[in-house]
């Protein structure tokens, strides 16, 4: 196995384990032992997606579970997944899912599919959730 593939795999596992933390590129790069520029270039070359985009989309898809499984206030979900404010979370969520989180919750709360492991964009799309 290519050493970079193994590195990216370990980085993805670390991101998953820390998905509820505030993950900024500088912190992730320091943890990985690379400069931000090099880490972003390496990540994109192996995954086809920017590291910042990946982290943001994973945080949002992970937040869907919290959003749909109970009535946790949006502010708590926003803070739980490392967003600076409820407004930032709602704006980012709306860009990705084409609905604000409250409307998403009302529309889909009783239709959450069984999930074994982290929610993914592919899983959400396959179940008809409005993901861009």
- What pTM value is reported for the model? 0.80
| H or E element in which residue 53 lies | helix 51-69
Reported as a single tens digit per residue, the pLDDT across 38-57 is 999 999 999 999 999 999 99
94 and 102 Cβ atoms separated by less than 8 Å: no
pLDDT of 77 above 50: yes
What is d(CA 38, CA 108) in angstroms, rounded to the nearest whole number?
40
- Band of pLDDT at residue 127, cut at 50, 70 and 90: low
pLDDT at residue 109, rounded to an integer: 81
Reported as a single tens digit per residue, the pLDDT across 57-74 is 999 999 998 898 888 999
| H or E element in which residue 124 lies | helix 121-126
Residue-by-residue DSSP string for 57-70: HHHHHHHHHHHHHS
């Amino acid at each position: 196995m290519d050493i970079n593939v193994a590195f990216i795999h370990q980085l993805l596992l670390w991101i998953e384990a820390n998905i509820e933390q505030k993950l900024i590129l500088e912190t992730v790069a320091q943890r990985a032992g690379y400069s931000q520029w090099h880490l972003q270039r390496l990540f994109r070359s192996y995954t086809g997606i920017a590291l910042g985009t990946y982290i943001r989309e994973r945080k949002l898809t992970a937040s869907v579970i919290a959003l749909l499984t109970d009535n946790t206030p949006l502010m708590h979900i926003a803070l739980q997944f490392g967003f600076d404010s409820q407004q930032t979370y709602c704006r980012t969520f709306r860009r990705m899912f084409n609905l604000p989180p409250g409307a998403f919750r009302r529309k889909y709360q009783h239709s959450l599919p069984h999930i074994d492991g982290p929610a993914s964009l592919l899983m959400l799309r396959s179940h008809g959730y409005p993901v861009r």
